[in-house]
């Protein structure tokens, strides 16, 4: 059902793209919009991981520079039956994480340094497993293409307003193009947010099954959602179209599952995970909610991914 809903929503996004082109430029505009939509999808398919990681300022780490983190990702990827993804670290105090890549063979997981400071091992495993579930379900490609199309719809609508939606091409004229420029991005955002929210619940369930600890993930969501509202994420603020890639909204909190929220409400996600834990026979308190961080409370070292031999090994990466 989730896959069918996502396919329908993606089709709606593409149709909206073509409709906007038709309204602004008639049949020729519709054809150009369709060609542009196909080209945009192909570009996003091939470059999604590189674009997202570059925008976030992520730096790749390996077993030498971040042994504990990389080994935990490898362990969870093995449980999920996935190839080992590349692992990245983002220098940001906001606790957050995301996955990207066009398929499981070309995937990457990126975590903020703030996440490693805040969570213990069970909680971090839940977050990483959530991201691996996105990779397994191929959500990373879906959400990246959706974000690219949403941005393209906004751009083409603005161009149409600038050129006045020519009536000689059966366009809607200046007033109509202004209306399209306002309404089309809103419609695109609604579709984008709906796709993102539908995938988050499924990734929570899949991540809980991979890590074996629904309550560990629930505890992590509680911790990082509150902190994310208080600590800015400069990369996400500069590139808001990528906000839906993160495990919690990096821009602002949202109090309910409304049309304009990038993520489901955290309490709703926690409740679903607690219900799953009960079905798995787990009791409350899983994930050691007060048990220190994955880093053992040592804090973040300067440049931990350099792997220089004179740096202390008691730092954040093990």
- Enumerate the β-bridge partners of residue 110: 88, 98
CA distance 104 to 179: 41
Phi, psi values for residue 286, rounded to 5°: -60, 150
DSSP conformation letters of the chain: -HHHHHHHHHHHHHHHHHHHHHHHHHHHHHHHHHHHHHHHHHHHHHHHHHHHHHHHT-EEE-TTTSHHHHHHHHHHHHHHT-PPPEEEEE--SS--EEEEESSGGGEEEEEEHHHHHH--HHHHHHHHHHHHHHHHTTHHHHHHHHHHHHHHHHHHHHHHHHHT--GGGT--HHHHHHHHHHHHHHHHHHHHHHHHHHHHHHHHHHHHHHHT-HHHHHHHHHHHHHHHHHS--HHHHH-GGGGGGBSS-SS---SS--TT-SS--HHHHHHHHHHHHHHTTPPTTTT-TTS--TTTT--PPSSGGG--TTS-TTSTT-
Structure tokens at 138: 């191929």
- Whether 131 is catalytic: yes
Q: Which of 131, 209, 267, 311 is catalytic?
A: 131
Position of tokens 């991005």?
185
CA distance 51 to 143: 13
Q: Which residues contact 46 (CB under 8 A, 6 or more apart)?
A: 102
Catalytic residues: 131
């Amino acid at each position: 059902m989730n896959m069918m809903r996502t396919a329908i929503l993606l089709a709606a996004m593409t149709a909206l793209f073509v409709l906007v082109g038709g309204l602004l430029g008639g049949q020729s505009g519709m054809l150009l919009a369709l060609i542009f939509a196909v080209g945009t999808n192909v570009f996003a398919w091939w470059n999604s991981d590189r674009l997202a990681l570059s925008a976030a300022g992520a730096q790749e780490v390996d077993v030498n520079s971040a042994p504990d983190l990389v080994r935990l990702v490898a362990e969870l990827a093995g449980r999920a039956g996935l190839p080992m993804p590349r692992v990245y670290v983002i220098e940001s105090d906001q606790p957050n994480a995301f996955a990207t890549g066009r398929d499981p063979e070309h995937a990457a997981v990126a975590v903020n340094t703030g996440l490693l400071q805040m969570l213990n091992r069970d909680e971090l495993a839940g977050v990483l497993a959530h991201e691996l579930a996105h990779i397994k379900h191929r959500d990373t490609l879906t959400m990246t293409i959706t974000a690219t199309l949403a941005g393209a719809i906004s751009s083409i609508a603005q161009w149409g307003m600038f050129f006045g939606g020519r009536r000689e091409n059966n366009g809607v004229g200046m007033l109509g193009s202004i209306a399209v420029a306002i309404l089309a991005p809103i419609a695109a955002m609604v579709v984008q947010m709906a796709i993102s929210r539908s995938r988050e619940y499924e990734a929570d369930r899949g991540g809980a099954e991979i890590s074996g600890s629904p309550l560990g993930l629930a505890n992590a969501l509680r911790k990082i959602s509150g902190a994310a509202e208080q600590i800015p994420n400069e990369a996400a603020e500069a590139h808001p179209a990528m906000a839906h890639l993160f495990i919690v909204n990096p821009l602002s909190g949202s109090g309910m599952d409304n049309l304009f929220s990038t993520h489901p409400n955290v309490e709703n996600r926690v409740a679903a995970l607690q219900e799953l834990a009960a079905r798995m026979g787990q009791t409350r308190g899983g994930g050691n909610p007060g048990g220190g961080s994955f880093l053992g409370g040592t804090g973040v070292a300067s440049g931990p991914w350099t792997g220089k031999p004179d740096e202390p090994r008691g730092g954040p990466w093990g």
